[in-house]
């Protein structure tokens, strides 16, 4: 499969799930355009498209907590990408947490 075969949305973006390759932990969800995916392959570091800043960003450029690419997968519908990574540093979340998914959503009360 080629990058051009992926099904990007109307804004040219695709969701990217980031998973720690050895532990299987889901670390974060980001967005990528074709350039971000190519840059991730070229650098070997997880790179995304910032929807708020309208620019590419590589995880760790400011925090030092880098996500080294192990492999890249895509889902059966070709509209979601999975970056399997090794984490260098303490965490993937901008809050300083290990994972962006550190909070639990409770079921609504009756």
What's the farthest any 2 CA atoms get from each other in the chain? 51
Angle at 98 between CA 15 and CA 70, to 5 degrees: 55
The string of pLDDT tens digits covering residues 35-46 is 999 999 999 999
Q: Using alpha carbons only, how large is the chain's radius of gyration in Å?
A: 14
The string of pLDDT tens digits covering residues 21-64 is 999 999 999 999 999 999 999 999 999 999 999 999 999 998 99
Q: Where are the domains of the chain?
A: 3-88
CA distance 92 to 90: 7
CATH architecture of 3-88: Roll (3.10)
As a 3-state breakdown, the chain gives helix, strand, coil percent values, each rounded to 5, of 10, 35, 50
Q: Give the per-residue pLDDT at 110.
A: 62
Q: Give the per-residue pLDDT at 68.
A: 98
């Amino acid at each position: 499969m080629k990058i051009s075969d992926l099904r990007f949305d109307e804004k040219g973006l695709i969701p990217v799930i980031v998973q720690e390759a050895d532990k299987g932990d889901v670390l974060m969800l980001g967005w990528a355009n074709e350039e971000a995916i190519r840059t991730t392959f070229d650098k070997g570091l997880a790179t995304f498209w910032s929807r708020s800043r309208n620019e590419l960003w590589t995880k760790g450029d400011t925090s030092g907590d880098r996500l080294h690419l192990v492999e890249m997968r895509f889902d059966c519908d070709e509209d979601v990408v999975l970056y399997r990574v090794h984490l260098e540093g303490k965490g993937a979340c901008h809050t300083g947490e290990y994972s962006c998914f550190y909070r639990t959503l409770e079921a609504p009360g009756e």
